[in-house]
Every structure is written in C-alpha cells, then in structure tokens.
Structure 1
Amino acid sequence: MMKRFAFFTVFTLAMCTMVCAQVKVVAHRGYWTTPGSAQNSIASITKADAIGAFGSEFDVWMTTDGKLVVNHDKSFKGVNMETTPFAEIRKVYLDNGEQLPTLDEYLKHAAANTKTRLVLEMKSLTDIKREDEAAAKIVKALKKYKVLDRTDIIAFSINACLTFKKLLPDTKIYYLEGDMEPKKIKRLGFAGIDYSMGAIKQHPEWVKESHKLGLEVNVWTVDKEDDMKYFIGLGVDYITTNQPEQLQKLLAK
C-alpha cells in the first residue's frame, strides 16, 4: 500500500513539474509593473528580458501619416494614435519619462539588447486598406532588424491576421477575438488561439481540442494566483500576465 502511495505521489509531482515546465510566461505590454518601467516602453522589454520571460508583448499603431508607433491605448494622454500626425505623437512621453517609441526604435533596441521572444500585436485600424499598409510596414521593419525568427504576431482583426499569413506564411499568427473554435482557426492556417480568460473559461474544452489539432493556446491577461493555477492546470501553452515574476515563482514551486 505504501509503495503504491509513494508511486502515486512521485507520479503526480512529475506530472505537475512537466505541465508547469511547459507553460511559458509572456509579459503583457512588457514588464511594466516594476520600478522604472512603463507600458510598452523600451524599459519594459529590457526588464522582461532581464527576468527571463519567454516573451514580451507589445502593441503597434499606425499614425495618420503612416508611421508605426508602440503603444496600447488608442487614445493616450489625449492623443489619438491613429488620427494624429507622427510629429504630434512624438511630443508624448510615457510615465517613466521615455518618449513614446517608434516601432523602429523598439525593434532596434530589442535586436541589439534582448533575447526574449517578441509578441507583436497590431492594433485594429478603422480602414482595411490601412491595416494592410500597416502590416506590410511591420513586416518590412521585422526583416530590417532581423527579428522575424523570434517574433509572433497577434491581432483582433481577422483581416490583419489573414494579411500577415499571406505576407509571412512561416510566422506564427494568433487570433485574439475569442469567437472562433479551434477547428476554424486550424482551417485558416493560424498557429493557435490567443484568447481572454473569459473566453477560455467559457470553453475550457478548446484547450484539448487545440492541442489535438496541433494548435497552441495562450490566455490573457492572468494576474491573480488562483487564475494562474487554473490555467496551468488546464494545460495552456502560454500565459500572458502583468505579473510575470509572480507567475514564474508559481511555476517554479
């Protein structure tokens, strides 16, 4: 009886270790919840890399005059990222004192100073033609700084995802909206589902379905320990969080 119990205990611990080791940590908007950082700042990707996060997510807008900038909110400090000329956006500073970065500045720094995987979200634009233009410019920038092999692309816009798939057939593309089941994602040729906590909790079966189809699963944005444990147990491949060090410590237990 004791031997059976010991075997079961060791087996359980081994399985937990295996599952935890498979879950990769992605810092949401970089590691910004730490001193000296800010969302989507150069510091945020530097700090994500410094703690060994698997990936660092960031957001890209295209200005009204066609320049690519890194920021999450459509309207930031009273400035609309999509409808404002670049010269005006250039006057905007982040909460840590950095100038709001261009995609060129962000990628140049990432290429020279970090090894963490880049998770680039292209923000949905009001015009499909502008989305196609932005996607083409993003691809050009990724190639310019030679970071294409360490970049995944995510988007809420199905048009953007399909455009990137045409431009970069070998790059991992993930859809964010949460309204498509895995088999449809597979048919579209995407790498997996990248859905909110709410979407995955509503359809926990999509994790196993995705894996059976050879797809990966990322869940966002997971900041509470109970939620982290839930998704680790569910067997997702990636967890995107504003608390990357907390998640790393949990996975290391």
Structure 2
Amino acid sequence: MINTIRIVYLVFAITLVFGCSKSENPDTTGEKIEETPDEQNILVVAHRGAWKEFNLPENSIASLNKAIEIGSNISECDIQLTKDLQVVIFHDEMVRGKYIKEQTYSELSQFSLSNGEKIPLLSTYLDIVIENKFKLWLDIKSLSELAGNNAWSIKAGEEAAKVIENKNAQQYVSFIVGRMEVLDKCIGFAKGNWECAYMNADFTSAQFVSKGYSWANFSFEKFYQNNTTNNSQLITDYTSKKIKVSVYTIDDNTVMDWFLDQNSIYAISTNLPFKLLSKF
C-alpha cells in the first residue's frame, strides 16, 4: 500500500514539474496569441498593412501578411464595391481613369499593383485573417458624388457584411466609417456581431452618448497639434463616458511618444507599425 502511494506521488510530482516547464517556455509555433502583452496596453494598427517600411503596395495581400508577421495587433484596409458587387481592397475611387463602381472585378483585375498582385478581394483578406486569428479594420470609404456618394458606401458596407457572414469571420472584423448616414446603416448590417467606429472628429462626447456610439476613431490632430498644443483631458472626456478612442495616422516619433503616454487610448494607426511596435 505504501509503495502504491509513493508511485502515485512520484507520478504527480513529475507531471507538476513538466507542467511548470511548459508554462515557463511556451510553444511559440502554435496559434497566434490574441491577447495584448501585459506591457502593451495600446493596440498597434498597421494602416493599409505594413507597406511603407517594407516597400510593398498598400492594401495588398503582401502588406497584410507583413503586418501579421511583424506582430501588429490589427491591420486596417479600405473597401470599395465594383459594378458587379464584388468587395475589393482599394483606397482610391478610380482605377485607370474610371470609377471603381463603373468596373467589374474582371475589368479591375487587368490592373496590377506594384508587386504584380491583382487588387485583392475582401474574401481573400478574410481567409488570411481567419487562418492567423488576426483582426481587420474595414474602412467604409466616404465617396464623392461621382463615385457613388453615401448610397454606394452603404451598399459596400452591406455587401461586406454578407461576405463576413459567409466566411463566419464576425469575430475578426470591425467597421470604421466617416459619415453618419453610412455608419447607422453599417451598424444595422453588423447586427451587433462586430464593432463600428465613427470617424467624425467634430462629434462631441455628448453627441456620441446621445447616438449610442461607443467608439471614436479620430485623426490624432483632434488631440495633438504640437508639444505645447495638446489636450489629454479631451481624450478623457470621451473615455470617461465609456467611449473607446483610437487615433490615426501617426508616423512622427514625437507624436507617437505623446500618445503612448495616454493610457486611455485604445489603438494607434500608423504607416510605420514596425517602428511603433519597437517602442513596447
């Protein structure tokens, strides 16, 4: 009986030792850890992917993959809608002198990015973020009248939501939107399954509360102009009302440092994500 007890104790001790060893030396080849490290309380958003520091085309598959590779928390991209209702990743309203809404995806595919890629589809982007358990912000572009105005932006948001649902990618996406009419429709398309941010920096915290909006994604200049003209209290004015605040697009070293000192900031979008990550 005593020998049996000793054997059981020995097995338990061995299990405990090996269990602790695994905890202290985690396997870094497994799934991507979604949590932000303890020392990093502000998320790093690669604006249009990690393109600038690595000489890649913005909004490309390569820039998205690079954003993931270097350890960004999130990648931002712009979405547009083609004539045949394909959701594509592209910033400008026009390609080869024609508005994107006037061209089918087959026609757009005759155009190549600087690295030889075709303009990516949202569905391709979603495949990548799902595989890597990565987060993607979709900028529903504010369009000029000739490019389709709010109606076409709303349609882009609607079609994007369909693609997201078909891919079961709800947990990996957020919408960021610049116009209220478009935002309100996009909130409906999201059905509460992903967050939607408002980008109108003229909207006060009280107006956010009145509308029920919970996330402000503003140009950094809303809070910071230079070392002597800045307003951290204005950030608190939003966050104290349970409104998340993220800022874009910060590439300057001094501005980065100032916002990193604002612990209530949710995320910083930058064209230089590798540089920003190096500060943590």
Instruction: Name the TM-score, length of structure 1 as normaliser.
Output: 0.84
Instruction: State the match for 1:57 in structure 2.
Output: 76
Instruction: State the match for 1:96 in structure 2.
Output: 115
For the residues of structure 1 that align with 2:274 and 2:219, how far apart are their CA atoms? 20
The residue type paired with residue 180 of structure 2 is I
For the residues of structure 2 that align with 1:208 and 1:28, how far apart are their CA atoms? 24
Instruction: State the match for 1:187 in structure 2.
Output: 210
Instruction: State the match for 1:243 in structure 2.
Output: 272
Give CA-to-partner distance per residue, 1:9-32, whole Å, 9 cap, x none: xxxxxxxxx996211100000111
Name which of structure 1's ranges 204-213 and 126-135 shifts more when overlaid on structure 2. 126-135
* Closer, same or farther: CA 206–20 of 1 in aligned 2, 3 Å: farther
Instruction: Report if aligned partners of 2:49, 2:67 keep a CA contact under 8 Å in 1.
Output: yes
Instruction: State the match for 2:133 in structure 1.
Output: 115
Give CA-to-partner distance per residue, 1:145-200, whole Å, 9 cap, x none: 12111211101121221112122242211111312012212322223110112222
Instruction: State the match for 2:34 in structure 1.
Output: none
RMSD over equivalenced CA pairs, Å:
2.1
Structure with a larger share of its residues in helix? 1
The residue type paired with residue 275 of structure 2 is Q
Unaligned runs of 5+ in 2: 1-36, 226-230
Instruction: Report if aligned partners of 2:95, 2:108 keep a CA contact under 8 Å in 1.
Output: no
* Closer, same or farther: CA 147–166 of 1 in aligned 2, 3 Å: same
For the residues of structure 1 that align with 2:95 and 2:104, how far apart are their CA atoms? 14
Structure 2 residue matching 1:21: 3-state secondary structure: coil
Give CA-to-partner distance per residue, 1:131-157, whole Å, 9 cap, x none: 332222111111111211121110112
Instruction: Report if aligned partners of 1:79, 1:89 keep a CA contact under 8 Å in 2.
Output: no
Instruction: State the match for 2:49 in structure 1.
Output: 30
In terms of Rg, which structure is larger?
2
For the residues of structure 2 that align with 1:49 and 1:173, how far apart are their CA atoms? 22
Instruction: State the match for 1:149 in structure 2.
Output: 171
1:168 pairs with 159, 184, 190, which one? 190
Instruction: State the match for 1:11 in structure 2.
Output: none
CA drift at 1:239: 0.4
2:249 pairs with 212, 221, 228, which one? 221
Number of equivalenced pairs? 233
